[in-house]
Structure 1
Amino acid sequence: MQAFIGLGSNLDRPAQRLTSALQAIARLPGLTLQHHSRLYASAPIGPQDQPDYVNAVAEVHSSLTPHALLHSLQALELAAGRQRLRHWGERTLDLDILLFGNQCIDTTDLQIPHPQMIQRAFVLHPLLEIAPHCHLPDGTTLGSFLSQVTEQALLPLAELDRDALIERENPHRTD
C-alpha cells in the first residue's frame, strides 16, 4: 500500500536527524522507501519560543497495517530521543502518517488523512514535490489547498542526493 510520511525536527541538528530518519524508515521491515522530498525549513506552528523546523515527506510502500506503521514510526521517534513536553513544542523527531492508500481512519491514536495536513505548507509543498497529483481519499487534489498556505514561508535546504540514499537503503528495490 502506498503511504506518505511527514518528517519534522527542530532540535539537535534537525537536517541530520531527518536524513537519519529517512535511512531508518528505509530499513523498517514491511516498508520500502520509494521517494522523499528535499528538506524545507519553516517557522514553528504553535509556541514561537522554539527553533525553526526542518521538514520533509517520504513516500513508502507498506505491507504493514496503518496501526503497525504508526507503532514502528513511534519507535523511531523514541529512539531519536522524542519527548512530548508540550503541544506543538520542540522535537528531536516527529513522524506522521499523512496518507495510507485511500483509507480514512479516525481512532483515538490515529487519524488518516492527517487532520492538519491541508493547512500546512511544510506538508503540502514537499508532498506535492514527490507526488504532484496526490489527492485525498474523497478525490480532492492536494494542490487545490496551496492557495490557503501561501503566507507560510518555506525555505528549501540543500538538496539531498535522494536517488543515492534510496539506492543505498533499498539495493534490491524495483520500480
Structure 2
Amino acid sequence: MNKVYLALGTNIEPRDVHLSEALNLLEANEAIVIEKRSSIYETAPVGYLDQAEFLNMVIKVQTLLDPLALLDLCQEIENKLGRKREIRFGPRTIDLDILLYNQENIKEDRLMIPHPRMNERAFVLVPLAEIAADEVMPNVDRTVKDCLTELPAEAIETVIKWTNNHTA
C-alpha cells in the first residue's frame, strides 16, 4: 500500500456537499482507504481573487494505485462533480490534489509530487499539519510543522476552521 495525502478544495455552493461527495467517491474505490481527515477550513482564494472563499481539507489515504492512476481517479471525480477548468486558479466545484505520495519526488508532464508550492500555502499546510505535522516533505526535506512555522503569521491566520462542518 502507498501512503498518500490528498488536498480537497471547493468554492462553489453547496461547498460542503461537494466535499462530502468527493470523499464518498474516493471511499467507493476499492483501491483506496481513507485513514485520516483534517477539519474543514475556510480560506480566501489565492491567485485569481474575484471568487468566493474556499473550503479546504486534507486526507490521508492508503492506496494500491500508482501515482498516475490516482491522478486519473482524482480527475474523474472532479469531472463527475462538474469541475470546469476555464480560469486558472478560478472557481471550482471540487479540486483534488495529490500532495505527497510515500516519500517520492515525481516529475512527469501531468504530475508533480510533492505538489508544487504546497510548502508555501497555508490553506494546504494548516490542514495537513493537523493530521501529519511530523511528515517529512521530500522536496524541501523538512516536516510539515517546520514549513508551517516558516509562513507569515497573517497567512496562517486567514485559514479558519469551518464551524458549519457536517462533512468530516
> TM-score, normalization: structure 2?
0.91
Match of 1:54 in 2: 55
Q: Structure 2 unaligned runs (5+)?
A: none
Deviations 1:35-66 (CA, angstroms, capped at 9, x unpaired): 11010000000121100010000100011100
Tell me whether 1:156 sits opposite 2:124 in the alignment. Answer: no
Q: Is the 8 A contact 2:133 2:143 kept in 1?
A: no
Q: Structure 1 unaligned runs (5+)?
A: 163-175
Q: Is the 8 A contact 1:119 1:149 kept in 2?
A: no
Structure 1, 39-48 or 137-146: larger mean CA deviation: 137-146
Q: Is the 8 A contact 2:7 2:96 kept in 1?
A: yes
1:33 alignment partner, SS class: strand
Q: Is the 8 A contact 2:132 2:144 kept in 1?
A: no
2:18 alignment partner, SS class: helix
Cα-Cα RMSD:
1.4
**In percent, how many aligned pairs have the same letter?**
35
2:62 alignment partner, SS class: strand
The alpha-carbon distance between structure 1 residues 12 and 28, as it changes in their structure 2 partners (threshold 3 A), is same
Deviations 1:13-50 (CA, angstroms, capped at 9, x unpaired): 11221122112111123110101101000000012110
1:149 shift after superposition: 4.3
Q: Is the 8 A contact 1:38 1:156 kept in 2?
A: yes
**Number of positions where the alignment pairs a residue of Structure 1 with one of Structure 2:** 162
Which stretches of structure 1, 4 residues or more, deviate above 3 A after TM superposition? 159-162
Match of 1:129 in 2: 130
Structure 1, 36-45 or 13-22: larger mean CA deviation: 13-22
Match of 2:146 in 1: 144
Q: Is the 8 A contact 2:19 2:167 kept in 1?
A: no
> 1:155 is matched by which residue type in structure 2?
I
**1:70-81 counterparts in 2 under 5 A?**
70-81=71-82
Q: Is the 8 A contact 1:118 1:124 kept in 2?
A: yes
Q: Distance in 2 between matches of 1:4 and 1:149?
A: 23
> TM-score, normalization: structure 1?
0.88
Match of 1:106 in 2: 107
Q: Distance in 2 between matches of 1:19 and 1:34?
A: 15
